[in-house]
Structure 1
Amino acid sequence: MKTTRETSAPPPPARRGRRVRDAERSRIAILDAAEQLFADLGFQGASLAAIAERAYVSVGLPGYFFGSKEDLYNEVLQRVFARRDAALELVATEAERILEESPGDGEAALRRLIGGYVDFLLNNPTFVSLLTRDALERVGRREGQPRHSEQFAQRMISIMARAGVAEAELAPEQLFLSLVGMCYFPLEHDATIVAGMGQRAWAEAFQERRVTHIVRLLRPSA
């Protein structure tokens, strides 16, 4: 007969490790599903039950891991922002390296800076959809919840100033907004304005022309 001590003994390490891995896989699956559904349907349209179904987990697991839908939504945003920050920090570093190695090659630095930002958007369509829906649904509740990277904004302005963009010195905040808008707007309105022009903003060929156009606007005399 087993003693009470033997019966209540913890599972062997291999079994505990498997449970931890399974829990982490479920957590990641929930975040992946939530990111896609929040992007497709918005915060109001995506339910925890639908997220669980898409993640192939039990209906109560999203709440178990994240609490409320609001908490899960915030976790999704933090994850996509972290992904954005990591990608754009690398882009800024590469653009700065170009200027350090070839101080007079401002056009190449700008092309890397803008092209890298556009590449991130193209590779992360849920980011564009999430921020578009967030802007519509979170009106009045955005104070204290910045949706952009202040560090990247400062590095972007610094790079453009070194690359010879006059507005980087004259109106840096306006320049940052203009640049983000020029990159972001066509993707956000691919199904409306851009489609009406007979083009596709998510096509690489379109974005290559877009980057070249923006660089010419920033350095018209280059």
Structure 2
Amino acid sequence: MNEQVDTAPAGKRAGRVRDADRSRAAILDAAERLFADLGFQGASLAAIADRAHVSVGLPGYFFGSKEELHDAVLQRVFDRRNEALDEVATQAEQVLDQAPEAGEEALRLLIRGYVDFLLANPTFVWLLTRDALEHAGRREELPRHDQRFADRMVAVMTRAGVAEATLAPDQLFLSLIGMCYFPLEHDATIVAGMGQRGWTRAFQNRRVDHIVRLLLHQIP
């Protein structure tokens, strides 16, 4: 079989690659927003193409199916999470390396960093919430959990003097994620019912202070 050779000038080939990369990124951006807003069932490939300003067949061309596109969107937000939280853990570790007694400062960096990531990435919260509802028990092959960050978080808390980090590290990690995540996920229900708004910076500043005191057993 004769292999087909692209005889277009190098500049045109590079232009096509850049256009393809831009189109793929636009599709992922549009899909992330629509899957977060409407869920997997509610967002169609046609709607995603329209929002991305590409031809209706292009999402299928790049990703094959809506399921595969959804997987790609989730993986992209997980990669974004992992990169952000890896940096947060490094900052907290550096604080403790320079001043082992600065446990409270390290904890505050760790928790504020995670909260800041959530505030800057609301689609992450809604994608995971909708995914848990729509695909429970059917998407175990795509990791939702970053074990590297969990291990580093527990190690920082251990060095900072958090007793539960040694006694029940898995439970502590789950509790910490829940304390940060829950007010955002339930902002329009429980939090709003209390007359507060979880997505505001003022609320989250108080939240971080509360969690740090709780971890260090400093709540009177």
Q: CA–CA distance in 2 between the matches of 1:139 and 1:69?
A: 17
Check the 8 A contact 2:71/2:142 in 1, yes or no: no
Give the residue type in structure 2 aligned to 1:42. Answer: G
Check the 8 A contact 2:96/2:102 in 1, yes or no: yes
SS of the residue 2:198 aligns to? coil
Specify the alignment match of 2:25 in structure 1: 28
Change (3 A) 1:116 1:9: closer
Q: Does 1:77 align with 2:74?
A: yes
Q: Does 1:118 align with 2:115?
A: yes
Specify the alignment match of 2:200 in structure 1: 203
SS of the residue 1:10 aligns to? coil
Specify the alignment match of 1:3 in structure 2: none
1:221 shift after superposition: 3.8
Q: TM-score normalized by structure 1?
A: 0.94
Q: CA–CA distance in 1 between the matches of 2:191 and 2:218?
A: 28
Specify the alignment match of 2:160 in structure 1: 163
Percent identical residues: 72
> RMSD of the TM alignment (CA)?
1.3
Larger Rg: 1
Specify the alignment match of 1:5 in structure 2: none
Q: CA–CA distance in 2 between the matches of 1:158 and 1:21?
A: 42
1:9 shift after superposition: 7.5
SS of the residue 1:133 aligns to? helix
SS of the residue 2:143 aligns to? coil
Q: Does 1:55 align with 2:56?
A: no
Specify the alignment match of 2:125 in structure 1: 128
Specify the alignment match of 2:143 in structure 1: 146
Q: CA–CA distance in 1 between the matches of 2:53 and 2:175?
A: 42
Q: Does 1:65 align with 2:51?
A: no
Q: CA–CA distance in 1 between the matches of 2:115 and 2:7?
A: 51
Instruction: List alignment gaps of at least 5 residues for structure 1.
Output: 1-7
Q: CA–CA distance in 1 between the matches of 2:142 and 2:164?
A: 27
Of 96, 103, 107, which aligns to 1:106?
103
Give the residue type in structure 2 aligned to 1:195. Answer: A
Q: Does 1:88 align with 2:92?
A: no
Instruction: List alignment gaps of at least 5 residues for structure 2.
Output: none
Cα deviation, 1:123-182, whole Å, max 9, x if unaligned, reads: 000000000001111112143433110110010001000000000011111100000000
Q: CA–CA distance in 1 between the matches of 2:21 and 2:153?
A: 36
Q: Does 1:175 align with 2:172?
A: yes
Moved more, 98-107 or 136-145: 136-145
1:108 shift after superposition: 0.1
Tell me which stretches of 4 or more aligned residues in structure 1 moved more than 4 Å. none
Q: How many correspondences in the alignment? A: 215
Q: CA–CA distance in 2 between the matches of 1:32 and 1:177?
A: 29
1:190 shift after superposition: 0.6
Q: CA–CA distance in 1 between the matches of 2:105 and 2:52?
A: 42
Q: CA–CA distance in 2 between the matches of 1:146 and 1:79?
A: 12
SS of the residue 1:141 aligns to? coil
